[in-house]
């Protein structure tokens, strides 16, 4: 289950939403990096106590270095989304190069005027 909270959502809304989650449920919480919950550590201490009280398996998503450091300081379980984004971008780039390679091979196999024009235009 994934729950997302925006920049203007209140802390009360976050707490009430977590209270509605059934006990022993695995949840991924995505809070906007500019949310005011990251201003004070005592708010996260309250969240940590609530999570322990309800026996939830909560994973927070951190997009920026600021939120990552905040999660490390508060001992909340988190996933660093920046690292995952970097790997997916690298894999997508590899797929693009493979597709271009296949496109050029198909142009060379056709051996018509249009494919020759495309290959010369790329030079």
* 68-72, 82-86, 95-99, 117-121: segment of lowest average pLDDT: 82-86
User: Any idea what DSSP says for residue 3?
Assistant: E
- pLDDT interval class at 84 (50, 70, 90): low
Sorted by sequence, the CB contacts under 8 Å of residue 52 that are 6+ apart come out as none
- pLDDT greater than 60 at residue 83: no
DSSP per-residue codes, 7-61: TT--HHHHHHHHHHSPTT-EEEEEE-TT-GGGS-HHHHHHHHHHHHHHT-EEEEE
Specify the pTM. Answer: 0.56
Tokens of 29: 């919480």
pLDDT in tens, 11-53: 888 888 888 888 888 888 888 877 777 777 777 778 888 888 8
- The domain limits of the chain are 1-76, 81-123
Section 82-91 average pLDDT: 69
Closest CA to 51 of 29, 30, 73: 29
- pLDDT greater than 80 at residue 70: no
């Amino acid at each position: 289950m994934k729950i997302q909270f925006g920049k203007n959502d209140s802390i009360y809304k976050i707490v009430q939403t977590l209270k509605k989650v059934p006990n022993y449920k695995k949840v991924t919480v995505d809070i906007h990096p500019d949310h005011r919950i990251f201003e004070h550590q005592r708010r996260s201490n309250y969240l940590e106590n609530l999570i322990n009280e309800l026996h939830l398996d909560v994973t927070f998503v951190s997009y920026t270095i600021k939120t990552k450091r905040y999660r490390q300081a508060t001992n909340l379980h988190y996933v660093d989304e920046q690292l995952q984004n970097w790997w997916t971008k690298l894999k997508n780039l590899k797929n693009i190069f493979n597709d271009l390679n296949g496109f050029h091979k198909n142009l060379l196999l056709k051996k018509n005027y249009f494919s020759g024009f495309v290959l010369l235009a790329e030079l």
